[in-house]
Amino acid sequence: MSYSNLRRGLLMLGGLLILCSQLQLAQAADKFRWKMVTTWPPNFPVFQEGVERFAKNVETMSDGRLKIQVFPGGKLVPALQTFDAVSQGTVQIGHGAAYYWAGKVPAAQFMTTVPFGITAKGMNAWFYYGGGLALWDELYAPFNLKAFPAGNTGVQMGGWFNKEINSVDDLKGLKMRIPGLGGKVLSKAGGTPVLLAGGEIYTALERGTIDATEWVGPHHDERLGLYRAAKHYYFPGWHEPGTVLELIVNTKAWGELPKDLQKIVEIAAQALNLDMYSEFEAKNIQSLRELRDKYKVDIKQFPPEVLSELKRLTEETLNEEAEKDASFKKVYEAYQAFQADNDAWNSIADDAYNKARQ
């Protein structure tokens, strides 16, 4: 081999080594390691377990390019500091419920649920195709956050009570664990809303610190053992008809992701949204049967006059809140418009079909 050919070969080999090195660096730079905090306790059924599945799905779909380490509430930051941790960039991503941040963003309550509001099916329609998600991003933009629907409890139960509710007067003086706008409505009805973490509810109800509580639905209520602490289990969950859970991402971290990884997170969030709702529906069926047949729980419907008065007080509460906050008013008006159309469609779709079946 001539010297010139040898020199040419060495130059080509050197070029290939440089190219391989550059490709390796590019691949290394294209890998992301995120931390995720939630508002849920470790191993919390459906919620925390669902988030863990979401992280595994993202890793699988991205072929390991995006790995998300999940921390339950209190492990890395306190549960109710999830919003702040993601907003400030302490972590890249979080999971919780928007109405937890009502003190910071009053209109965020519409992104979770409001009394006598839209159910899970309608909420999905509003978010994905009715402009709701754009409003959500607009609300969260000042906090450096991008939001995704990421789970739904479906229509919740009305709660556990240590006395029967036969009229609105039975709500007067009632101490009930109930958060958010539902708590404000109860207060207008003469009751006393009490804020308690999930782990404190059973003891408070058993000891009489509270007279009643709402939680989630049959599956979680059974797991918490609330049937041992209260006699009467009421429906429907007028206060939370389709409670949406949220995935929040720091906008700087989001902007650093390549488009394909952004799409993976988006699709994985949609999958989580469907997955959690489906799991709740399936497990609530089983748990309701056990509560009724095994534990002989007294399952009752709220009297029509009670629901009618609570609905009137809800409208009063929402109008008062809208007068206080311009963003709340803007979202409320958009929500009302979609709900009216959604109700009109349901009246000749789901509602009419259910009546026909009966």
Residue 215 is part of a domain; what is its CATH number? 3.40.190.10
Is 125 part of a structural domain of the chain? yes
Do 46 and 185 share a domain, yes or no? no
Edge-to-edge order in the sheet of strand 212-213: 192-194, 175-177, 212-213, 159-161, 232-235, 298-301
- Classified as helix, coil or strand, 96 is strand
Q: Tell me what pLDDT residue 5 has.
A: 53
Contact 80, 39 (CB under 8 A): yes
What total number of domains does the chain contain? 2
* pTM score: 0.89
Distances, alpha carbon 249 to alpha carbons 20, 178, 190, 284, 341, in Å? 33, 28, 39, 30, 31
Is 291 part of a structural domain of the chain? no
Which regions of the chain are under pLDDT 50?
6, 10, 16-28
Q: Could you list the residue range(s) of the whole structural domain that residue 191 is in?
A: 156-239+297-323
On average, the pLDDT of the chain sits at 93
Q: Which one-letter DSSP state was computed for residue 155?
A: S
Cα 251 versus chain centre, distance: 19
Do 229 and 84 share a domain, yes or no? no
Distances, alpha carbon 97 to alpha carbons 118, 123, 157, 161, in Å? 16, 14, 18, 25
Do 195 and 315 share a domain, yes or no? yes
Q: Tell me what pLDDT residue 271 has.
A: 98
Do 183 and 125 share a domain, yes or no? no
Radius of gyration for the chain, computed over Cα atoms and rounded to the nearest angstrom: 25
**Amino acid identity, residue 190?**
G
- Classified as helix, coil or strand, 32 is strand
